[in-house]
Amino acid sequence: MTMQASARSYSNIAFIKYWGNKDEGLRLPANGSISMNLNGIETVTSVNFGPALQKDTLTLNSNPAAPDQLQRVSRHLDAIRARAEVDHSAEIVSRNNFPAGAGIASSASAFSALTVAASAALKLDLEEQELSALSRLGSGSACRSIPEGYVEWIAGEDHESSYAISIAPPEHWDLVDLVAIVSREHKPIGSTTGHRLAWSSPLQQARVIDAPRRLDICRAAILARDFPVFAEIIEQDALMMHSVMLTSNPSLVYWAPPTLTMIKAVPQWRADGIPVSFTIDAGPNVHVITTSEYVPVVRQFLKDLDGISEILAAGVGGKAHLIQPAADGASL
Ligand code: PMV
């Protein structure tokens, strides 16, 4: 019996952010979050379990992974192996199609693809909800890359009740994320440490208490395709998360000068009549959100700014899914 499967999963960008856990071990978030999957910004992962394998191995973008990366992946596989009551080691081969060092976090697409591939390889036959909760154990935001399109992560109270659901399919609204990559990249503090530091900011409580309001506004704006309301709430949410980061101890300053340039420019473009908005994760890159019709205009505006080395574009992505790899592994 083969115990092999491959899966593809898309990264996602949060509009209402996840920052801080109420349970670190289980990655139960302090607040719910809302995101969209990013079509084409993806990870493809193959997992092959075998009784003859001595230990887990991980190949990332054709190179052996660093020990800490392998350890995190092995720990995640342990959770899946425990459910399947199998203790075979695995050979994992994973590839991201986005440029390394571009500051695009890969943990969401990586842990969702790994979860879908590994649970299928072990014949677990899980529902979407269970796949989402399991992905969450590897990386919180990974749970949002399991369902399709526009997604909400219900914070929940325990492992089973903390998972993401689709609130609208990709075709509901043609939003596009233009990821403006900022040239001078700083080595970021990883989000696992960042989530822990969030509670050292006196602003975190206020951010979390206000989250249901932001979630309601954002969800309703997406469902109604109301760009002005959507734009204001996602910018406020991103700035609230960065206010927490800036006031943590130690302070986390993820912005670089071009980040601030865009924080000021994007609302100005919107005031001039362009449906455009920004959000920022744990790094200096700015995710500039617009509708497909305005992509050429906004792309040109961004090109005219200083300090942007590259612009990636992604529409709304589908769900994580199993794929049939070519026999020679060519699709990886
Ligand atoms: O899933 P993690 O632990 O990499 O955390 C993601 C944190 C942010 O990207 C900053 C926000 C989010 O909701 O995706």
Nearest Cα to Cα of residue 308 among 257, 252, 248: 257
Q: How far is CA 246 from CA 197, 206, 262, 264, 311, in A?
A: 11, 15, 18, 18, 26
Q: In whole angstroms, how large is the CA radius of gyration of the chain?
A: 19
- pLDDT per residue over 194-240, tens digit each? 999 999 999 999 999 999 999 999 999 999 999 999 999 999 999 99
Residue 2 Cα to ligand 1 midpoint, Å, equals: 34
Name 310's bridge partners: 181
Confidence of residue 1 (pLDDT cuts 50, 70, 90): confident
Domain 4-171 has CATH 3.30.230.10: yes
Spans of all domains in the chain: 4-171, 174-314
- Residue 30: count other Cβ atoms within 10 Å of its Cβ: 20
Ligand 1 pocket, residue 103 CB under 6 Å: no
Q: Are 311 and 299 in contact (CB under 8 A)?
A: yes
- Does the pLDDT value for residue 100 go beyond 90? no
- pLDDT per residue over 103-128, tens digit each? 677 899 999 999 999 999 999 999 99
Superfamily holding 174-314: GHMP kinase, C-terminal domain (3.30.70.890)
Helix (H, G, I), strand (E, B) or coil at 76: helix
Q: Which of 11, 18, 72 to mutate to test the pocket of ligand 1 (most atoms within 8 A of CB)?
A: 18
Name 29's bridge partners: 21
Structure tokens at 169: 């399919």
The rounded distance, in Å, linking the Cα atoms of 191 and 29 is: 13
Confidence of residue 101 (pLDDT cuts 50, 70, 90): low
Structure tokens at 312: 């990636």
- pLDDT per residue over 254-312, tens digit each? 999 999 999 999 999 999 999 999 999 999 999 999 999 999 999 999 999 999 999 99
Residue 195 Cα to ligand 1 midpoint, Å, equals: 9
Mean pLDDT score, 132-161:
98
Residue-level pLDDT at 104: 75
Q: Is 304 exposed, middle or buried (0-12, 13-18, 19+ CB in 10 A)?
A: exposed
Which letter does DSSP use for residue 173 in this model? -
Could you tell me the maximum CA-CA distance found in the chain, to the nearest angstrom? Answer: 64
Residue-level pLDDT at 105: 73
Ligand 1 pocket, residue 191 CB under 6 Å: yes
